[in-house]
Amino acid sequence: MIAELKNHSIALHYLSVLRDERTDISDFRKATIVLTQALVLEASRQLELSAESIKTPLEKIEGQKIKGKLVFVPILRAGLGMLDAALDILPNAAVGYIGLERDEQTAIAHCYYSKMPNLSDVQKVFLLDPMLATGGSASQSIVKLKELGAKNVSMVSIVAAPEGLQHLQELHPDVDIFTASIDRELDVNRYILPGLGDFGDRLFGTN
């Protein structure tokens, strides 16, 4: 399943902030926070709940709370820009890390770092990467998560290319994908168009 925030006024506003080449680091980070939180709220819609008796200031009722363990896994380094915002929504979630570096010539990524909590008894793993371009990094990360015992993975990306979405659906049809925008295409250098440039460089002020 692919979910896109295409009719969400706040998402459309902050997407424009991210895309604008004039946006400074502070506003870029703020837009990333808002969009991440909107996406995590959407991706969390189907989490399993358990009934729990609680007492309001006036009476006892049967409430509902999220059942089981959750894990956020940002793909380094750009995914780090989404992590704190995601934890603001689900502060009890554990955190794992996957470090991937893309070869600019082949667009193939290799893993240089991985650190995970136990994934075998987790209700949901949210994989965080702001740009889903070819889908290679995401697919490689999902393979690793599944090898480590993850049974329910969702991909959360701010901007996605059709090519990456197709690649991910073909290899991992069980993984739901949540994005703020499905962009037009990849260019010859495998960058998303219209995109927003290099997310990591704009987020961290590097070049």
For residue range 140-198, list pLDDT tens digits in order. Answer: 999 999 999 999 999 999 999 999 999 999 999 999 999 999 999 999 888 899 999 99
Q: Which of helix, strand or coil describes residue 180?
A: strand
- Residues 106, 129, 134, 183: which is the catalytic one? 106
Planar angle of CA 175, 180, 183, nearest 5 degrees: 95
| Dihedral (CA of 40, 186, 76, 113) sign | positive
Q: Is 193 exposed, middle or buried (0-12, 13-18, 19+ CB in 10 A)?
A: exposed
**Lowest mean pLDDT segment, chosen from 65-69, 105-109, 124-128, 136-140:** 105-109
**Look-up: residue for tokens 């995590």?**
40
Confidence check: pLDDT of 15 > 70: yes
Helix (H, G, I), strand (E, B) or coil at 76: strand
Give catalytic status of residue 22 as yes or no.
Answer: no
Identify the band that residue 2 occupies on the pLDDT scale cut at 50, 70 and 90: very high
Burial class (CB in 10 A: 0-12, 13-18, 19+), 128: buried
Residue that has been written with the tokens 């004039």 in this structure? 22
Chain segment 25-83, per-residue pLDDT in tens: 999 999 999 999 999 999 999 899 999 999 999 999 999 999 999 999 999 989 999 99
84 is catalytic: no
pTM for the predicted model, two decimal places: 0.90
Q: Among residues 88, 121, 187, 201, which one is catalytic?
A: 201
